[in-house]
Amino acid sequence: MLEVEDLTCLRKGRALFSELSFSVRKGEILQVVGPNGSGKTTLIRTLVGLYTNFRGEINWNLSESPLFMGHRSGINDHMTVRENVEWLVSLNDQVFKPSQLDDVMKNLGLAKLESIFCADLSFGQKKKVSIAPFLLSDNLCWLMDEPFSGLDKNGVALLGKFFGDRMAEGGLIIFSSHQPVSIGGPLRSVVLS
């Protein structure tokens, strides 16, 4: 569970948002929405502990740290698709079977690309590579900055399905997005202006 009380984030001397309060429990998903420059990325980075110029309270009640995907993919263009996924998963000390990785690659439409260097992928394909470690993880808490950005219609639907599946398992997901999202379950929003 996450409880946020009176959160104010400052950037270059100005408040991006002030006195923001909300809670998210297991089995819930929260979408952070707002125009460019309203602080969506800053809020996500603050919640995960990467941004510390804030006032207020952030209280996590989790048995493990949340998985985080930033606006940038974090993949290495000089590694293959499969190498990148294996490397990203290893950062979270997650153990998986090769068959699990094969299934995730197939589900994301990356199976035929697994030996291709990521430098040769489109933005949307790179986004799928950065999503793959989430699907290999048992971690139920995901924080994702613009996870739908760059995905085509099928990719958006697929990620929405993955969100719904994780919620059914008792997951807690917080993400930012500019686009409407269908996840097959309840979706709450925090609106920044």
Instruction: Pinpoint the alpha helices (H) of 56-95.
Output: 81-90
Region at 110 (left for phi over 0; alpha for psi -120 to 50; beta for the rest)? alpha
Please, what are the averages of pLDDT over each run of 10 residues along the chain (193 residues)? 96 92 94 92 95 95 87 90 92 81 95 97 95 91 94 91 92 88 82 90
Phi first, then psi: what are they for 60, rounded to 5°?
A: -95, 140
Indicate if 115 and 23 belong to the same structural domain.
Answer: no
Question: Could you tell me which of 52, 55, 63, 45 has the C-alpha nearest to residue 7?
Answer: 55
Q: Are residues 80 and 57 in the same domain?
A: no
pLDDT tens readout for residues 155-175: 998 999 999 999 999 999 999
User: How would you classify residue 12: left for phi > 0, otherwise alpha for psi between -120 and 50, otherwise beta?
Assistant: left
What is the Cα–Cα distance from 110 to 189, expressed in whole angstroms? 31
Q: Is 13 left (phi over 0), alpha (psi -120 to 50) or beta?
A: left
pLDDT at 181: 78
Tokens of 29: 């998903």
Predicted pLDDT of residue 95: 76
Amino acid letter, residue 98: P
Predicted confidence at residue 11, as pLDDT, reads: 87
Domain boundaries, position 39:
1-66+140-193
**Is the same domain home to 129 and 144?**
no
140-150 pLDDT per residue, tens: 999 999 999 99
Please indicate, yes or no, whether residues 34 and 121 belong to a single structural domain of this protein: no
* Domain identity same for 144 and 89: no
Structure tokens at 31: 């979408």
131 and 144 assigned to the same domain: no
Instruction: Report the 10 Å Cβ neighbour count for 46.
Output: 22
121 within 8 A of 113, measured Cβ to Cβ: yes
Indicate whether 35 and 1 sit together in one domain. yes
Q: What is the pTM of this model?
A: 0.92
Counting DSSP H helices and E strands in the chain, the numbers are: 5, 8
Total number of domains constituting the chain = 2
- How confident is the model at residue 28, as a pLDDT? 93
